[in-house]
Structure 1
């Protein structure tokens, strides 16, 4: 099976494009790598863009981009996808630096963009803002979480890292514990987008910087049980939720089947499992997320 190797970018529609661009550049510390009449492209470092912004009436995530391995064949991946009965579209030069792409919808209506990335862009990290390492994961509310989870595993080659009960799945396509989160809440919509920070000290300075610029925390700082990462959540100007995280579990060797041991793990070794619907699964340090966060 040809599997996607990493999340490359996420695309959002927002009512106020300029304000959201300002947030990603001045507050988060991404680089505005290109902008035209239709879209703005923002990057952390090695990719031309990690985030695409387009103007729309309602804030929402419309597309997710995934990268294949350098030796993988995009045509063979398209045939593999079509064999599942999925309608695919081949696009030439659809985005800056991407010459060939296979596009199709997932089971909840989000567009998947799969391609082979060209040579790294060698952009520098910024010197202002939060300055995350990378786009880490995107989470969605789902009407049918079982179906959506099966789609990502069967079509894109994801592996299940953990479940909370039977309604919240955490899926990986590389070493990171999760790249896609799916939570069954009865609706299909964006939940949050997460960017990786260095460590606890980076999270502390990020929270101070956000506070100084008028952004309050929706939830956190804390440590999730599932994935064991440090976390904090806030809202961007468009209303979309951003998570900042560090110390996420990693599975360095799929054959071994356990996540790299850490002192804060409750299991030793920590293997994929079904967690009970318990506060410890969400936050080992304290409270569950506020109701307002789940409704945004």
Structure 2
């Protein structure tokens, strides 16, 4: 359905993601001992973890099976009552709930079209006591989440028209990158009739030295890379990919493109851009778009 841009909800930040896991202790150990996240709250059924000042960026929930991206939380910069009204006016079901998480008093709950993934919209999280400088390992933040969708067009329309995301890039006709702030993307979607669920989740590292330190730390714990280091064409970030104990694909990245001035519409100058200035565009589905350093990992591009 077409929604006027002026009625879009103003999402400004990717806040958190939830994973269901059959082995809560094992996945908690990975996040705390490998990625160095801090557990903020823990019960027998769920664990809330953070790498930064937000109360949590990751929720781990005990379940009989593993399932990734069961919930995604987005911060919005507006009154929840106004956002709820505009979502209803656009024809979507939305529920306002209290007590859904220990850090967000009120949350708007809406289902992502086609996938059914539960989205939480909130105006602010409580703060953790994690200081940015107390770890040489810990990622700086939850950067983005990629997921499969059976149809790219309505998914992209939902995020842009209803939630106010902006288009950053597309690879071929099957992989779109969407931003909700200056970062190149907070959400990206791959069209697929074969796969569903999460494609990968990405955590940001400060710089190449920070990334290298983390990779050495992971190697010492027998965590091996699936792909990278490399540099993506779309977004131009340096990336690495590995698997967590449940088999979820985890990206660690740095140097992601940003847009500082939306009125100008180009990404901030980088020495590795192929075009000057670099604007959002549709990329050919080739090695440059996936990894300008080569090679391509077929498993991560299969759809």
- TM-score w.r.t. structure 1 length? 0.95
Structure 1 equivalent of residue 181 of structure 2: 174
**Deviates further, 184-193 or 117-126:** 117-126
Q: Structure 1 residues 125 and 27, CA, compared in 2 at 3 Å: closer, same or farther?
A: farther
Q: 2:202 aligns with which of 166, 191, 194?
A: 194
2:10 is equivalent to residue 6 of structure 1: no
Structure 2 equivalent of residue 235 of structure 1: 243
Question: Across the two proteins, how many residue pairs are aligned to each other?
Answer: 293
Structure 2 equivalent of residue 73 of structure 1: 79
Deviation digits for residues 215-260 of structure 1 (CA, Å, limit 9, x no counterpart): 1111000000000000000000011111000000000111110010
CA distance in 1 between partners of 2:125 and 2:145 (Å):
23
Moved >6 Å (runs of 4+): none
- TM-aligned CA deviation for residue 85 of structure 1: 1.6
Q: 2:98 aligns with which of 92, 100, 103?
A: 92
Q: Structure 1 residues 39 and 251, CA, compared in 2 at 3 Å: closer, same or farther?
A: same
Unmatched tracts of structure 1, length 5 or more: none
CA distance in 1 between partners of 2:160 and 2:28 (Å):
33
Structure 1 equivalent of residue 227 of structure 2: 219
Q: Structure 1 residues 14 and 118, CA, compared in 2 at 3 Å: closer, same or farther?
A: closer
Q: List aligned pairs for 1:53-132, cutoff 5 A.
A: 53-56=60-63, 57-69=65-77, 72-107=78-113, 108-118=115-125, 120-125=127-132, 130-132=137-139
CA distance in 2 between partners of 1:129 and 1:40 (Å):
23
Unmatched tracts of structure 2, length 5 or more: 1-7
2:171 is equivalent to residue 164 of structure 1: yes
2:174 is equivalent to residue 148 of structure 1: no
| SS in structure 1 of the partner of residue 278 of structure 2 | coil
- TM-aligned CA deviation for residue 152 of structure 1: 0.9
CA distance in 1 between partners of 2:71 and 2:125 (Å):
20
CA distance in 1 between partners of 2:222 and 2:125 (Å):
38
CA distance in 1 between partners of 2:223 and 2:302 (Å):
19
Aligned residues: CA RMSD: 1.6
Q: Is the 8 A contact 1:197 1:246 kept in 2?
A: yes
Structure 2 equivalent of residue 18 of structure 1: 25
**Deviates further, 188-197 or 79-88:** 79-88
| SS in structure 2 of the partner of residue 140 of structure 1 | strand
